[in-house]
Amino acid sequence: GRPLLSRGAAVGAGVVGLVWLSWAAGATAGVARLGERDVNWRVLNGVSGTWALITAIAAYVLQRQEPATPARLPRWVPVSALWIGTGSLFAWSGWKLAFTLYLLLARPADAALPEDLTTAAVLHTVAATAGATLARSLARGTRPRDPDR
């Protein structure tokens, strides 16, 4: 059901985050044009990977049956992190997927990405799907409760 789908989306976000962080750190698996990786590309992958991991961790914390957060950590902290992270995953990967598919299918001579296009398309599909799935789960699961939580 829905909890399994949300857990799968959280795992997907975590995997995407680890790949993006590995690229930011210099890994070459899934990168087709090594010479086109510049500092901007690395920073962008680092930021995107960090938010993907924050999203996965926040989803995990909120999906646990018993409270997983310390008593002093209000519920709004992982909820806020998850809202920001799902927006980041869905919005960023949504437009990047469209652009990547264009490059993959049209193969224009004047445009390229450092990453392998098939790898990038898979990662952006997983990220956008995870973002949308977790946002939907979060919207269905958050109801105004105790304002101090």
Is the distance from CB of 56 to CB of 3 less than 8 angstroms?
no
Question: Residues 86-142: pLDDT tens digits?
Answer: 999 999 999 999 999 999 999 999 888 899 999 999 999 999 999 999 999 888 875
pTM for the structure as a whole: 0.86
pLDDT at 145: 47
Does 130 fall in a domain? yes
Residue 13 lies in a domain: yes
Are 128 and 94 spatial neighbours (Cβ–Cβ below 8 Å)?
Answer: yes
pLDDT tens, position by position, 12-61 = 999 999 999 999 999 999 999 999 999 999 999 999 999 999 999 999 98
Q: Is 146 within the bounds of a domain?
A: no
Supply the DSSP string of 26-66, one letter for each residue: T--TTBS-GGG--HHHHHHHHHHHHHHHHHHHHHHHHH-SS
Which tops the pLDDT comparison, 149 or 116? 116
Predicted local confidence at residue 146, as pLDDT: 44
Residues 72 and 117: their CA atoms lie apart, in Å, by 44
- Domain containing residue 27: 2-141
Q: At CA 44, angle to CA 43 and CA 45, rounded to 5? A: 90
The total number of structural domains in the chain stands at: 1
